[in-house]
Amino acid sequence: MNSRPRGRFAAALGAAVLGAALVLIAPGAAQAAPAGPPPRPAAPASPDPTLQVHALSAAPGPVDNPLKGWAKFYNPGGNQNTGYPHSLTWGYFGLSEIMTSASNCGSYNWSIIDSMLAETAGYGNQAAIRIYLTYPGGTGSHPANAIPSCFNGNVAMRGDTYWNVTHPDYDSAFLLNAMKNFIAAFGARYDGDPRLGFIHMGLVGLWGEWHTWPYDTDTADGLPNYMPTDANGAQLVAAFDAAFNTTKLEIRYPDAAGGAANARDIGYHDDSFCFREGSPLQGVSLPMSMGGASYAQLQRKLNVGTENKWITSSMGGELRPEIQSTAFQYWPNGSGAVDNLKACIELDHATWMINEQSGNYASGDANVAAAVRLMGYNLTVNNAYYKNTASGTVNVGVQISNTGVAPFYYPWTMVLGLKNSSGTVVRTFDTSWDLRTVQPLQIRNFPDWNVGADPSYRAYGYPQYFQTSVSLSGLAAGDYQWVLRVRNPLETVNANAKKLRFANTTQQADGWLSLGATTVATGGGDTTAPSTPAGLNTTGQTASSVSLSWTASTDNVGVTGYQILRGGTAVGTSAGTTYTDSGLTASTAYTYTVKAYDAAGNYSAASSPLTATTSASGGGGTTSYEAEASGNTRTGTAVVAACGACSGGSKVGYVGNGATLAFNGVAGGTGGSRTVTVYYTSAEARTAVINGQTVNLPATANWDTVGSASFTLNLASGSNTITIGNPSGWAPDIDRITVATSGGGTGPTGYEAEASGNTRTGTAVIAACGACSGGSKVGYVGNGATLAFNGVAGGAGGAKTVTVYYTSAAARSAVINGQTVNFPATANWDTVGSASFTLNLASGSNTITISNPSGWAPDIDRITVS
């Protein structure tokens, strides 16, 4: 087995010839329709508020993490760990090399596969394999015709003069029975084998790729069709699905065998990944909407509505050999025969690719690293949750985010551990945490979904929270480190199996991730919570803040601080007995409670609630803009994430290192200097560059505590964009910004229709609206139903310009404080228009009510008053 060719092009197959072959492979299934954007998974459980939060710092993910990235060809006896770092080895095998008996098709010699798996495991790698019957250009121990000799006299053979190979009759009952028996035996021997990562469902067609061009379904060329019928192909697909319940399977085309794999846990394998061919050049991976050919892999997925199959089934392939050596010179956009690689990876949700020439890549190539980190999973532990001092049975939690394009597909065990002061792991705890549930934070929209310009992205997964209880019984008192690792099942074969590692600065080479220090106490430790804070009161309110005070709590050891909750959600901490909650909405009621905590992480019960109402803005105040609003623009890694303490329950993270967040449509009034306040979370001090200004942002208590920083920015009259980034590091996670409506110029004060302080009657209801400010609007106003904006500031009173922002696919009218206002039709119910009129307001606080007693009013996004 020492002369096995290293790739399917090894036997002098012309790239142009192969390209022509793929051009003429017509899709085999009737065109349906794209599935469209997938629904988001259910939001995870919230972290336990009684546990202390320990933020971890992110770092670039390893490029040789298991079961992702590049796969090099198996070369018996060759060192598998040379060249660009990788963890997968790819192997081809002819069926005749396994089914070796001339008289018995039920006799199998597995030694060729066993040798490859043993050798690969010895390098700490996993294998991906395919078994074929015809291999154009193959020679010697890698035969061109790998049809088992036991087929002779039982199965008709068909000559292929184009490729100089022989095809069997795939519709032969004898062949189908023999192949189904082989598949069953294949699965019985290797399903769940920790040495195997992926199996390409080969067996049919050239190279096992499920095509026989030019002897295919296109018989207009005068050549016969050598492919099996869809029904017979479906029998083989079903046999594979029945035989392999653990090891991930992949098939070449979404429409193979009439789409027989599409309702099964079988992924796809793009053997011509991200290549462009023909004149003019067309992509063979990207869809037609992005310059791809009608037969492109992603177009085929869209045709049968399986573009979201990656959520449960792996996507692999081969970076076309013709472009392997040059592809990353053009990252991410591509050039010539290299298509847009970033788009290919993001839309295919590719986890791994055969790439023999990756052996020649420089280990420090930043473009290659960016592609590999994007492929498959890229996992970061954002926070660990545990008490700093503990004993007995304790709770421990972690929050994990995925910035790759796909989940991890195997149920590998996550293990908690404790390291002593010498760095020795002295206790481990297997958890039931399922790493497969950590889905990508964002996914890229297909242009075919018609949800926005390309490229655009949508929030998908969440930072996933896991928690378990473990016993510290029997541990000596002292200082320890909580650690976490993921157990690679290959370790049962080779202790040096490559470890799944997290994209964190505290990730260790031995596979353990340091989560933070803890002290195991003697005598049960401090388990007594502080007394409940009393006397919660307000010491003052402004239009955007509430100041609080309370009576100090007591504790058997000592009170460390206080947690302040607004509406039951933690918004900050204080070391003393006062706190000011800022960034609030004028004339709005807020309910607060306070909890005391100690150094051991014991929390008191919540204080009695206090409700305080912010004052009217007096015609000035601030306008608030949410970071997660759909009208904003995110680039690079910037992604919407859940944040219980943040306004709206969300924030935008991973801003910086080239990634930006742009607030679009910021009102500048008549222009001039404005005070801008950034609300953010960051467990470490960071900086951000905001419209060219560098702003220092101090650390907050943790990644779930909101802080704020203000600075002055000159805005133009009308609409502005405020962009937050950091070219040389990470900015904090952004909750929202507020912009003062006066100062160096005056501007309107905005009031959202969906604000909690407003009043709705009858059918009036809040509805999602992607184009609207804040992502929501109020619909079904009219026919007796009303929407009242409460707490509208009138300043000193008098005539004010009121602008109503609305959506309405038909011309409508509304009665607003007695005045009838006409609203022209907008393009559709998701397009925002505006109409302005003059209204007399009283000094101080006002209510503006929108109604229509005889018909429907438009849907209301917001109003501004100036």
Tell me the per-residue pLDDT of 248-304, one tens digit each, with 9 for 90 and over. Answer: 999 999 999 999 999 999 999 999 999 999 999 999 999 999 999 999 999 999 999
633 burial class (0-12, 13-18, 19+ CB within 10 angstroms)? middle
- Give all domains of the chain, ordered by start, each with its CATH number: 67-264 (no CATH), 379-520 (2.60.40.10), 534-613 (2.60.40.10), 622-747 (2.60.120.260), 750-865 (2.60.120.260)
Residues in the chain: 866
pLDDT at 7 exceeding the cut of 60 = no
pLDDT at 395 exceeding the cut of 90 = yes
Cis peptide before 41 (omega within 30 of 0): no
Up-side HSE of residue 61: CA atoms within 13 Å toward CB? 29
Q: CA 174, CA 147: separation in Å to the nearest integer?
A: 13
More confident site: 132 or 777: 132
Q: CA 301, CA 310: separation in Å to the nearest integer?
A: 11
Distances (CA, A) of 479 to 389, 392, 393, 398, 811: 9, 15, 17, 20, 70
Are 124 and 496 in contact, with CB atoms under 8 Å apart? yes
- φ, ψ for residue 238 (rounded to 5)? -65, -35
- The whole-number pLDDT of residue 25 equals 36
**Strand (E) or helix (H) holding 582:** strand 578-582
Q: CA 123, CA 130: separation in Å to the nearest integer?
A: 20
Give 723's strand partners: 662
Average pLDDT over residues 635-639: 87
Lowest mean pLDDT among 11-15, 54-58, 71-75, 83-87: 11-15
pLDDT at 365 exceeding the cut of 90 = yes
- The whole-number pLDDT of residue 641 equals 84
Lowest mean pLDDT among 19-23, 201-205, 606-610: 19-23
More confident site: 304 or 525: 304
Give whichever of 2-16, 391-405, 538-552 has the largest mean pLDDT. Answer: 391-405
pLDDT band at 616 (very low <50, low <70, confident <90, very high): low
Lowest mean pLDDT among 288-292, 442-446, 504-508, 697-701: 697-701
- φ, ψ for residue 689 (rounded to 5)? -100, 115
Output the six-digit token pair for 494: 């080779």
Are 255 and 246 in contact, with CB atoms under 8 Å apart? no
Does the pTM of the predicted model rise above 0.75? no
Average pLDDT over residues 855-865: 89
pLDDT at 741 exceeding the cut of 80 = no
- The string of DSSP letters for 194-244 reads TTEEEEE--SSSBTTSS--TTSSS-GGGSPPP-SPPHHHHHHHHHHHHHH-
The single residue listed with the structure tokens 């008996």 is: 101
Q: CA 429, CA 585: separation in Å to the nearest integer?
A: 47
How many percent of the chain have pLDDT more than 70? 93
Are 258 and 28 in contact, with CB atoms under 8 Å apart? yes
- The string of DSSP letters for 307-335 reads TTGGGTS-EEEEE-GGGTTTGGGSTTT-B
Q: CA 606, CA 110: separation in Å to the nearest integer?
A: 66
- The whole-number pLDDT of residue 748 equals 61
Q: Which of 367, 357, 386 is nearest to 53 (CA)?
A: 386
Q: CA 148, CA 104: separation in Å to the nearest integer?
A: 10
- The string of DSSP letters for 453-498 reads SSS-EEE----EEEEEEEE-TTPPSEEEEEEEEEE-GGGGT-TTPP
pLDDT at 714 exceeding the cut of 60 = yes
Q: Which of 64, 60, 65, 62 is nearest to 85 (CA)?
A: 64
Are 2 and 140 in contact, with CB atoms under 8 Å apart? no
Cis peptide before 489 (omega within 30 of 0): no
More confident site: 48 or 99: 99
pLDDT band at 705 (very low <50, low <70, confident <90, very high): confident
Q: CA 771, CA 766: separation in Å to the nearest integer?
A: 14
Are 758 and 848 in contact, with CB atoms under 8 Å apart? no
For the chain, give the mean pLDDT: 88
pLDDT band at 438 (very low <50, low <70, confident <90, very high): very high
Please give the single-letter amino acid code of residue 77.
Answer: G
More confident site: 69 or 729: 69
- The whole-number pLDDT of residue 448 equals 96
More confident site: 610 or 284: 284
Average pLDDT over residues 199-211: 96
173: CB partners within 8 A, 6+ apart: none
In tens, the pLDDT along 790-847 reads 888 777 778 888 889 888 988 899 999 999 999 888 877 878 888 888 888 887 788 9
In tens, the pLDDT along 536-588 reads 877 766 777 888 888 899 998 889 899 999 988 888 888 888 888 887 887 78
476: CB partners within 8 A, 6+ apart: 520
Pairing of strands 88-94, 393-402: unpaired
* Axis crossing angle, helix 341-348 with helix 366-374, rounded to the nearest 10: 20
pLDDT band at 6 (very low <50, low <70, confident <90, very high): very low
Are 772 and 851 in contact, with CB atoms under 8 Å apart? no
Angle at 254 between CA 249 and CA 258, to 5 degrees: 105
pLDDT band at 617 (very low <50, low <70, confident <90, very high): low
